[in-house]
Structure 1
Amino acid sequence: MTALTTLDPLPRRQARLHRPLLWFAAVNAVLTVVAVVGMLVDDRVIAGSTAWFKPTKFAVSFLLYSVALAWLISLRSKPSRLTWWMATVIVVAGTIEQLIVVGQVVRGTRSHYNMTTSFDAALWIIMGSTIIVLFLATMVVAAQLSLTRIGDAATTWSIRLGLAITLVGLALGNLMPNRESGVADIAGAHTVGAPDGTPGMPVTGWSTTAGDLRIPHFFGMHALQALPLFAALLVLLAPRIPLLRVLRVRVGLVVTMAAGYAAVLALVTWQALRGQPLIHPDQATLTVAAAILTGVVAGALISVASAIGTRKVVTA
């Protein structure tokens, strides 16, 4: 293989970062700090978790989501009014979600699935509506970004596949409101095989005794960050690893990574629906996990093997 001569750099911003998304990210960064302090000083428990635990998770998730989306939108060579407005709709929907989540914590009650009073029910209906709006707006933005070539083929496909998996992850959130909670006036549940509020894992709060549908929802949503970052890592490593200078190797690795990510998303969804905690997999889960790992390794080897005998470094 010849020495490196040229290599497409990481894609650079072609437009200004989306201001509303940046402001939303900044507000959620502040909210993260406030909510963490709340967990330390407020000893109230809501639905089996520390009162400020849910606002913390939502703030961190929205922070990552909005920063990634603002960056991706700025990479488009041609600005789009539709994309700008849909991103603004996402900010409005996310803001409404956060106001209700935090507001209900201040009131000392749960936000999700709460039908205890007419006011609580109205808030939950509003949340359900804004979630749908956020999903549809994200789908429009994803379609706009997917039609644009951003960087080389590896980067472009990392963005397209990351957005597709993120939409699936968002859609999986619909599994929770449709579950029987077993509790009066609570219309939904995230735990399968046990009531909500069972012992949870540190940091995430995911159930350690039953299935938890929050896992696939969270994991799927953040493909938007994981896959483009993986593609960027390949570019950064290319100067030191000659094989990564070949475009089709990077494309193959990105596709393999995306396929593995999607397979793991399917696995943790299946595991949760069977009422099985993430940290206590049974033989069937371990077998499927091993098959996924084998497939990813095989895909990576095939991608690398595609460059054997290459005499010219492909860069575009």
Structure 2
Amino acid sequence: MLATALMAVSTLASLAGLVFDDRLLGGQPIWAKPLKFSVSLLLYLPTWAWLLSLQRVPRRWTWWTATAIAVLTTLEVVLIVLQVIRGQASHFNQATPFDDGLFQLMGAMITVVWVLNMAQGVVLLRDRLPDRPMAWAIRGGIVLGSIGIGLAFLMTGPTPDQLHALQQNLPVEMRGAHSVGVPDGGPGMPLTGWSLTGGDLRIPHFIGIHAMQALPLLALLLTGAAARRPRLADPGVRARLVLLGTGVYAGLLGLVTWQALRGQSIAAPDAWTLLALGALVLATGLLAGRILRRTPDPVAEPVPLG
């Protein structure tokens, strides 16, 4: 929670930077990156703290690994801010040994965070929760969130132009990119900076990570709606809807990943993308209707998270 407080401070500082510092980096306001990281971690860190609080038996090693995650993610933002102050890119930058060393350090730290996140997730999946729909929401959020973190590694490989330069033994200042099919730094969406002209791997990375908030929120909304919709009073119905929501979220994650890897902007989907999205929406509606029409199951025993 201390790291969460620091992310709140970093968010305010980044907002101030956007107002008072007019520098651009890669075609975007230079303070946009620390703002996005700070806001994302402002959601991730307290969510993970809440998930760990659900353990039936507190474990000493999970406390230490949670502390390591908090320290490493905070240090990641500190290094991003340091590069902003220097006027340099924090990611993919190998223009100098110092810049390259910082990026390699950040890559190593996020790898450790990913591994620790998955290790803690396995422990959480083995615990039981009395709330059946929330149990399934947490299960899906942990799995999809871990996938979302891992998708960041798709950005670290050299682009075709960078690879060609490396094969020619030419100097390459940037190795890796957010965008696919177009250079980084082109026209982007406000605030997020997601490419408007090509694919952008930050989109599936973002969507995947925040499954840990979206799916438990779905479970909470269904529980809240149960007072007005008697059909939702059955925990089995809500659990099946959460499972459906998890499948839909996974489908959306796969869709935006496929779209980005094809070099297609999120703002300009082609016919195949729209067809896939339409099929996902249609299947969601049909399955949700079937779930709501089914005869309620007897209240089941609490299920294990794993």
Q: Could you tell me whether the CA contact under 8 Å between 1:159 and 1:227 is conserved in 2?
A: yes
Aligned-pair distance for 1:269? 0.3
Structure 1 partner of 2:142: 163
1:202 aligns with 2:190: yes
SS of the counterpart of 2:148? helix
Among 180, 187, 212, which residue is 1:192 paired with? 180
8 Å CA contact retained: 1:198, 1:209: yes
Q: Which residue of 1 aligns with 2:236?
A: 248
CA distance in 1, matches of 2:160, 2:109: 22
CA distance in 2 between partners of 1:85 and 1:217 (Å) = 26
The reply to whether residue 147 of structure 1 matches residue 126 of structure 2 is: yes
Q: 1:50-89 CA distances to partner (integer Å, 9 max, x unpaired)? A: 1100000000001100011111111222111122111111
| Whole-angstrom distance in 2 between the partners of 1:33 and 1:50 | 15
Equivalent-residue separation in structure 2 for 1:61 and 1:190 (angstroms): 17
Root-mean-square deviation over aligned CA pairs: 1.5
Tell me if the contact between 1:48 and 1:198 (Cα under 8 Å) persists in the aligned partners: yes
Deviation >6 Å, runs of 4+: 312-315
- Structure 1 CA distance for aligned equivalents of residues 161 and 102 of structure 2: 21
Report how far residue 30 of structure 1 moved: 1.1
In structure 1, list runs of 5 or more residues that go unmatched.
1-21
| Offset, 1:150 | 2.2
Per the normalisation by structure 1, the TM-score is 0.90
Q: Which residue of 2 aligns with 1:280?
A: 268
Q: 1:85 — aligned with what?
A: 64
For residue 18 of structure 1, what is the aligned residue in structure 2? none
The amino acid of 1:228's aligned partner reads: P
Count of residues in Structure 1 that have an aligned counterpart in Structure 2: 293
Structure-1 separation of matches of 2:279 and 2:301? 33
Structure 2 unaligned spans of 5+: 163-171
Corresponding position of 1:267: 255
Within 2, Cα distance between the matches of 1:216 and 1:139? Answer: 18
TM-score by length of 2: 0.92
Q: Do structure 1's residue 238 and structure 2's residue 226 form an aligned pair?
A: yes
The alpha-carbon deviation at position 102 of structure 1 amounts to 0.5
What is the CA distance between 1:182 and its match in structure 2? 3.7
> What's the CA shift string for 1:27-67, capped at 9, x where partnerless?
10111011011011101111221110000000000110001
C-alpha contact 2:231 2:237 (8 A) present in aligned 1 = yes
For 1:251 and 1:313, how far apart are their aligned partners in 2?
A: 11
Alignment of 1:61-140 (within 5 A): 61-140=40-119
Distance (whole Å) between structure 1 residues aligned to residue 61 and residue 224 of structure 2: 33
Distance 2:79 2:181 in 1: 28
Alpha-carbon distance in structure 2 between the residues aligned to 1:199 and 1:254 = 37
Q: Give the equivalent residue in structure 2 for 1:297.
A: 285
